[in-house]
A and B are shown apart, each in its own frame.
Chain A
């Protein structure tokens, strides 16, 4: 029940009760005064009648009769001598000496009494007076009793009650509002309390309110934190409820799965990838699992796990990762292992083949020398290959700072061209080395290896009688090493792959030209370790130019 209704009802109740009580009390008071008035009137009448009697002028007291006053004269024996009323004779003949007012009059000279009439609404009032001759003169009058008074009042009271009720209805509503308003206001402004009784409540409310505010603030912050965390994850994140609705997701998930950017809808609206939906289904059955997807050219791995809260599963979580790079690296490693085994196996097969032929005497004595030479060659290739692989594996470790020293690129370039002169001369290739001194910070043997490999390639893949130009230049804070040849060049489709391990442009030529297929891979690793950048410019059949730019070391010139 509303407080307002209750207050209105109470107010109305109190109003009606007070009106009724007032009416009743007023009736009694009026009646009392009225009775007193009647009595005193009767006394006057009695005295007047006595005066008349003494004057022998009473006749039958008809004057009194006209005014509704009954006058009775009673002799000493109590018999009625005269009665001006229209009562029956029988009533008149009754002995009146036992009447209280007569007895009292005989004792005290005057007496009075009242008796209810035949009907309840009237009361008869009597006044008796002892006359000098021993007779008693009695006057009486009938008047309304209290009940008839009330009865007369009643319709009026009802009208007033209705009237008051109507007014009360209007005013009680207003009054109730007046009472209620401060309580309502308290809800908005707990500090402004009108009723003292409510202050403890308002204090409690105020404290609770502060607590709730803080709590909400905390929750907001937590949520914000989680949101930021999830939004900035490079992995995709999706949360599902038991009905497979997407509750939460981040940008990465949408991007990786090429999903629709929707939320609070069934999974089917988010992504239609069959495997993904099946994985989520499984997770919702309580089994965590992972799947690999291929979306466009990306390899995607998805981990889906059930989510438990209070030991009851209430959803599933999916983590989506881009494993393209990882897969690529894995493939490269696998390829490298396969390549290494293959490259190692080829010379060994030749060696063991020739050796077997010699062992079983299948080779003619004059061939033995040729075979031995071939075995030597293949063994040499094997050694070169293994040393290259070792170098590469060493290069996987990052270079330590104390390994670095000041290295003059020009010195190294000259050293390389000297050492390769024999090779170059064999094919009538001219190697020139020019440029200015450029000091860089690096590992001398590695830098030598780099320059040597580049020059070696430039000679190896050159045409007969070609040119190799090594030049060192300084440009701003860079030392630029350029190795230019007039060789066979590299076809454009191979250009971005030649730095891969064991990659060869022309696989059939590899045997003829020698080399391990690891040279440029080594160059790339060394350059990476020295923070140097490599650029390639090559035209088929015209030549290749490889540029490596190192950072100059200006601090300490030699």
Chain B
């Protein structure tokens, strides 16, 4: 019976990592859609988003089944309850990637020639955060998870830089107002993804240590 339970827990672990891989893909394609103005990439994100939603439901059902049948305690209970929380954050990341892709579809028709550096930096940074959060979960690495929590500040800082860029863009050329707003939305979504990555990292820390305070927030 317990052996079967262990197998189930490993399966849950793998499912979570798989979902992590899916959100990483979604983000990568969304960022590609933005930087390369590629509608194909944006469409890919929609497909992945459907998979992510399905995965969330599957994992949720699986977790409830585990709780009901196995009455987990201690570490196992923490893993399962954090899993339930993490999938919500992951699903939100999926949604936001798809929102970014949606905006990209609209603005790809226009040319946004101006400097995208801060937005791409943000994309790079939050992509790394998500990857590291998932890696921290895989390797059960508290230190790595804590570093993810810390790098959220970098994303926030970049966001305010993007804000300044957009204000400058509008004051220089008021006809670029629409695109500036769209780009600001993209940046905001990226910032939100960063926050969700931080949440995931915090849940990773909780599932390992059982302590919420370690994340330094």
Contacts and interface: CB of A to CB of B under 8 A. Distances in A.
Contacts, number: 27
B138 A269 contact: yes
Interface stretch (B15-23, B35-43, B207-215): B15-23
A268 B139 contact: no
B54 interface: no
B139 A272 contact: no
Contacts of A18: none
Nearest to A271: B21
A262 interface: yes
A22 interface: no
A274 B25 contact: yes
A268 B135 CA distance: 11
Given A272-B21, A274-B21, A274-B25, A266 B139 contact: no
A260 B139 contact: yes
Given A260-B138, A260-B139, A269 B25 contact: no
B70 interface: no
Contact of B21 (A261, A262, A268): A268
B13 interface: yes
B10 interface: yes
Interface in A246-283: 260-262, 265-266, 268-269, 272, 274, 277
A263 to B, nearest CB: 11
B134 interface: yes
Contacts of A268: 14, 17-18, 21
Contacts of A260: 135, 138-139
Interface residues of B, number: 13
Contact of A261 (B10, B17, B20, B139): B139
Contacts of B60: none
Interface in A291-330: none
A277 B25 CA distance: 13
A342 to B, nearest CB: 29
Nearest to A274: B25
A262 B25 contact: no
B10 A272 contact: no
B24 interface: yes
Contacts of B14: 265-266, 268-269
With most chain A CB atoms within 10 A of its CB, the pick from B14, B138, B139 is B138
A398 to B, nearest CB: 44
Interface string B128-150: 00000011001100000000000
Contacts of A265: 10, 14
A269 B18 CA distance: 8
B142 to A, nearest CB: 15
Nearest to B24: A272
Nearest to B19: A268
Contact of B139 (A262, A274, A277): A262
Nearest to A270: B138
A160 to B, nearest CB: 53
A262 B13 CA distance: 14
B73 to A, nearest CB: 23
Contacts of B134: 272
B10 A266 contact: yes
A252 to B, nearest CB: 19
Contacts of B139: 260-262
A148 B21 CA distance: 96
B21 A269 contact: no
A200 B106 CA distance: 89
With most chain A CB atoms within 10 A of its CB, the pick from B13, B17, B25, B139 is B17
A73 B138 CA distance: 118
A102 to B, nearest CB: 91
Interface in B95-150: 134-135, 138-139
A266 B10 CA distance: 9
B154 to A, nearest CB: 19
Contact of B20 (A262, A272, A274): A272
A314 B138 CA distance: 25
A118 B134 CA distance: 103
B48 to A, nearest CB: 10
Interface in B131-188: 134-135, 138-139
Contacts of A274: 21, 25
Nearest to A261: B139
A260 B140 CA distance: 11
Nearest to B21: A272
Interface in B1-60: 10, 13-14, 17-18, 20-21, 24-25
A269 B24 contact: no
Contacts of B25: 274
Contacts of B135: 260
Nearest to A269: B138
Contacts of A261: 139
A274 B25 CA distance: 8
Contacts of A266: 10, 14, 17
With most chain B CB atoms within 10 A of its CB, the pick from A261, A262, A269, A277 is A269
Contacts of A272: 17, 20-21, 24, 134
Nearest to B28: A274
With most chain B CB atoms within 10 A of its CB, the pick from A261, A262, A268, A277 is A268
A260 B24 CA distance: 15
A71 to B, nearest CB: 91
Interface of A: 260-262, 265-266, 268-269, 272, 274, 277
Given A269-B13, A269-B17, 8 more contacts: A260-B138, A265-B10, A266-B10, A266-B14, A268-B17, A272-B17, A272-B21, A272-B24
* 9 nearest CB pairs, A to B: A272-B21, A266-B14, A268-B17, A269-B138, A260-B138, A268-B18, A260-B139, A268-B14, A269-B17
23 contacts: A260-B135, A261-B139, A262-B138, A262-B139, A265-B10, A265-B14, A266-B10, A266-B14, A266-B17, A268-B14, A268-B17, A268-B18, A268-B21, A269-B13, A269-B14, A269-B17, A269-B138, A272-B17, A272-B20, A272-B21, A272-B24, A274-B21, A274-B25
